[in-house]
Amino acid sequence: MKSQLLVIIFGLSFSFSFGLYAQSGNASVNEDTRSSDFFIDKMPGNYNIKADSIIADFVASDTLISENETISFTNLSTGGPTFFKWHFPGASPSVSYTENPVVLYHSPGFFNVTLVVTGMQGSDTLIKENYIEVLPVVTSLPPGWEYEETMTKHSVIMSLSANPRIFEIPIQAGDFIGVFYMSDGDTLRCGGAVEWNDTASVAIVTQGDNPLTPVKDGFSYYEDFNFIIYSSSQQEEFPATPTFDPLVPFHSFFPGTFSVLTDLYSGQLAQIVVPQGWSSISSPVIPWYNLMDSVFCSSQQDLILISDGENIYQPQSGLNMLKSWENKAYLVKMNNEVTLTFKGYPPQNLGFDIQPGWNFLPVPVDCEVDIATLFQDNMDKVKVIKEIAGFRMFWPEHSILSLNELIPGKAYALFADSSFSFQFSPCE
């Protein structure tokens, strides 16, 4: 009787254990492949599952994307894993040890994703085959932006928060962002470009120089990136200034790596209030469209005249000896107060030559400048600095110091007893 009871109990126990094992064996479906060293206890004759075994699992934020888009992966593994190793064929990075990585897919196709997790209770591997589908992007690049695919690549990733813009106006879907290298002829050539979609992060896959070709057809190692934004509505190119994420070490071309942009802008804005009557002005921004007719297009009815001390622009009389706005100081007379908006780029040259006698002095930077610091090496040659249309002045010889700082947008008169050169420092 006892032997019969043992047989029955053992039979039920074996049936129950085998049923559990069979059920757990169906946990991997949808073409997932799993390999676990500790999924079952491998001691002979024992088929019981360990209740606290590690089981790898994950999910992607999206499984259908276009090339040069990113996907974030979320670890869903159970059992308390402490080590994670991901494999992403066709993506950058191709291997990650982050628990919840974000990767960029830069080529079309179907791609597996593999997660290996390890902890105190063992390890497990999950492979999701053909889990990610990447669609090709067919686009027409701006004129002159064609480039060749080469064997070495570097990705420049840019999220929506980077807010690429032209003169502080965000670019539109359908505009392009390109990265350019210096060719053998010292001209800029496109080494990679992407169309801005205004809905998701994008990446520019830049091409390295192919050493097997006789001419330079891509970036050299550690060559700096030159960014250009193309406005489709204006059909015009605008050079752009990037800001790189300091946590990502690559800020120039290096094959197999990537950079991250936190900001990208083309040009600057400056607004200058010009009062009624006589005044003097300058600008920390040289207008992109710098013809005098363009600078004063909305205020020509209020402009009486403007002069750089030698030439005059007087639209009411048709006199136009000043063709374009330059990095100078100007004397101006207005019928009414107006606000001029300058959309352009900071002057390349911040140095000036001062001649004996009176000089016009512009302020080519967008911050206030301390006079004593600016002229500290030439203070013995500077006699007077004064407002052209005001009463404040810097006249240290007579201890008259009502003017101590130069203000952006204004211009001043400087009297020197001998010639010298000096340079403004860029604002920090």
Domains of the chain, first to last: 2-135 (2.60.40.10), 153-266 (2.60.40), 269-345 (no CATH), 351-423 (no CATH)
Q: Return the structure tokens found at 253.
A: 């071309």
Cis bond before residue 214 (omega within 30° of 0): no
List pLDDT tens digits, range 390-408.
899 999 999 999 999 999 9
Predicted pLDDT at 235: 92
| Res. 176: pLDDT tops 90 | yes
Q: Which two tokens stand for residue 370?
A: 């301390």
* Percentage of residues of the chain with pLDDT beyond 90: 75
Distance CA 162, CA 200 (A): 11
Cα separation, 167 vs 288, whole angstroms:
10
Report residue 39's pLDDT band, with 50, 70 and 90 as the boundaries: very low
What are 187-222's pLDDT values in tens digits? 999 999 999 988 888 999 999 999 989 999 999 999
Structure tokens at 422: 């000096």
Average pLDDT for residues 258-266, to the nearest whole number? Answer: 96
Give me the mean pLDDT over the 107-116 stretch.
Answer: 94
Mean per-residue pLDDT, 64-88: 93
pTM of the model: 0.62
- Radius of gyration, CA atoms only, the chain: 34
Are the beta carbons of 339 and 271 closer than 8 angstroms? Answer: yes
Q: What is the pLDDT of residue 139?
A: 66
Residues 6+ apart with CB under 8 A from 137: 66, 67, 68, 195
Quick one: pLDDT band at residue 148, thresholds 50, 70, 90? confident
Q: What's the chain's average pLDDT?
A: 88
pLDDT level of residue 318 (50, 70, 90 thresholds): confident
Q: What angle do CA 107, 86, 74 make, to 5 degrees?
A: 90
CA-CA distances (angstroms) from residue 44 to 10, 16, 40, 48? 16, 17, 11, 11
pLDDT at residue 321 in the model: 93
Residue range 304-327: mean pLDDT, rounded? 92
| pLDDT at site 345 | 94
Kindly report, residue by residue over 276-301, the tens digit of the pLDDT: 999 999 999 999 999 999 999 989 89
pLDDT tens digits, residue range 220-238? 999 999 999 999 999 999 9
